[in-house]
């Protein structure tokens, strides 16, 4: 190997060990057109995967599917079922090191090299209603930080363009979840979840009526992360310090805070989490379709974390004795549980029934 090549390799290795892949001095920075940036990103994206040195080692978090284990990550569309989106990334509210593609649903950070932290905001101001969106990690996840969260318009998205930091939650105007599993706000961090990596889908549920922010990992709720967000106007945000890193919006939905939504919340609480509420409760076809299109994230089943567990179904049964006793002024929903057969059967359908209170 020539002396020049050896020097170049040593220099690249030094940059990798600091988690600054492709980093160059500011004097050598070049202007890249959007086409060149996107083509270069697509061509060089796989260069990050084999890294095993220092903080640049990609996190092997839980992926939503197996595409990232079998080399099919470039064509992976798993979990991307939505065709309608309430908001996308805002081309006028992004750092200079952020590049948008896929109808402004996907953001690519630091397409050539990284010298700091980049971020982007969504187009929808969130104030009084219910909001849910999902961000898919489309590239290896590594570096100082890659984050998902919310923030106000008071945040300067270019403030840390020359500083590597956990940007979301660094102040009182933003709340963020790091790929390390730490939640950040007011420059304080607390352990909240396990790490996430390439292929992970991070869901964000913002309840502006109650002022709570909850995260999901691969569509499993992680519990309330932050409270006290009422009265603010917030925007979805993501940030990254990693070169050639990418995230994609695969779902963005909003729903009015209403009695209908609160009823759906109650149904989700009383019906076992591993069951689909819309499949369990008999509803008019029009209402079922409406709820499925708007809040399936709330009513859908939550995947189990453990092996093959016998699933109990709840079948509607009418208590004839109670009927003979006459109606009661106080009624409640109750379940009758039956062990599920090993085969499939229409009898294993969960529905609700009113039963007389005692």
**What SS3 string covers 261-328?**
HHHHHHHHHHCCCCCCHHHHCCCCHHHHHHHHHHHHHHHCCCCCCCCCCCCEEECCCCCHHHHHHCCC
pLDDT over 80 (residue 348):
no
Domain 31-255 has CATH 2.60.120.920: yes
- Band the pLDDT of 74: cuts 50, 70, 90: confident
Please report where in the chains the tokens 């080692």 appear, as a residue. 57
Spatial distance between the Cα atoms of 131 and 229, rounded to a whole number of angstroms = 13
pLDDT over 70 (residue 309):
no
- Band the pLDDT of 46: cuts 50, 70, 90: very low
3-class SS at 355? Answer: strand
Most confident of 57-61, 206-210, 273-277: 206-210
pLDDT over 70 (residue 147):
yes
- Band the pLDDT of 117: cuts 50, 70, 90: very high
Task: Name the residue ranges covered by the structural domains of the chain.
Answer: 31-255, 259-299, 312-356
Look at 134 and 38; give whichever has higher pLDDT.
Answer: 134
3-class SS at 202? Answer: strand
The DSSP call for residue 61 is: -
Summarised one tens digit per residue, pLDDT across range 245-302 is: 999 999 999 999 999 999 999 999 999 988 999 999 999 999 999 999 889 889 988 8
pLDDT score, position 317: 35
Q: Measure the CA dihedral 286/290/293/294, to 10°.
A: -170
Backbone angles phi, psi at 9, to 5 degrees: -65, -40
Pinpoint the alpha helices (H) of the chain. Answer: 3-17, 34-44, 259-270, 277-280, 285-299, 320-325
* Range of lowest pLDDT (1-5, 260-264, 328-332): 328-332
Transcribe 168-179 into DSSP letters.
Answer: TTSSTTEEEEET
């Amino acid at each position: 190997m020539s002396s020049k090549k050896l020097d170049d390799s040593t220099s690249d290795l030094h940059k990798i060990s600091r988690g600054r892949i492709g980093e160059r001095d500011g004097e050598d920075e070049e202007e890249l057109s959007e086409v060149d940036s996107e083509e270069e990103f697509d061509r060089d994206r796989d260069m990050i995967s084999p890294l095993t040195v220092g903080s640049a080692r990609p996190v092997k978090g839980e992926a939503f599917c197996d595409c990232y284990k079998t080399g099919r990550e470039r064509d992976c569309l798993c979990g991307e079922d939505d065709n309608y989106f309430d908001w996308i990334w805002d081309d006028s509210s992004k750092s200079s090191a952020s590049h948008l593609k896929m109808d402004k649903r996907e953001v690519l950070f630091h397409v050539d090299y990284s010298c700091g932290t980049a971020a982007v905001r969504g187009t929808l101001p969130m104030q009084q209603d219910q909001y849910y969106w999902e961000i898919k990690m489309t590239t290896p996840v590594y570096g100082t930080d890659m984050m998902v969260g919310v923030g106000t318009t008071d945040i300067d998205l270019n403030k840390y363009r020359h500083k590597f930091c956990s940007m979301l939650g660094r102040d009182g105007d933003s709340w963020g979840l790091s790929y390390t599993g730490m939640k950040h706000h007011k420059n304080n961090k607390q352990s909240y979840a396990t790490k996430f990596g390439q292929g992970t889908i991070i869901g964000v549920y913002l309840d502006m009526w109650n002022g709570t922010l909850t995260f999901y990992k691969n569509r499993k709720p992680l519990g309330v992360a932050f409270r006290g967000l009422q009265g603010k106007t917030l925007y979805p945000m993501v940030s990254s310090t990693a070169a050639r890193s990418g995230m994609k919006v695969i779902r963005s939905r909003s729903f009015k805070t209403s009695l209908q939504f609160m009823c759906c919340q109650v149904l989700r609480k009383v019906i076992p989490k591993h069951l689909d509420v819309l499949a369990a409760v008999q509803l008019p076809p029009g209402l079922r379709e409406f709820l499925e299109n708007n809040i399936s994230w709330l009513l859908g089943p939550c995947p189990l974390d453990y092996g093959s567990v016998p699933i109990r179904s709840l079948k509607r049964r009418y208590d004839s004795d109670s009927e003979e006793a006459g109606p009661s002024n106080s009624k409640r929903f109750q379940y009758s549980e039956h062990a599920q057969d090993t085969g499939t059967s229409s009898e294993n359908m969960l529905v609700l029934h009113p039963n007389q209170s005692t």
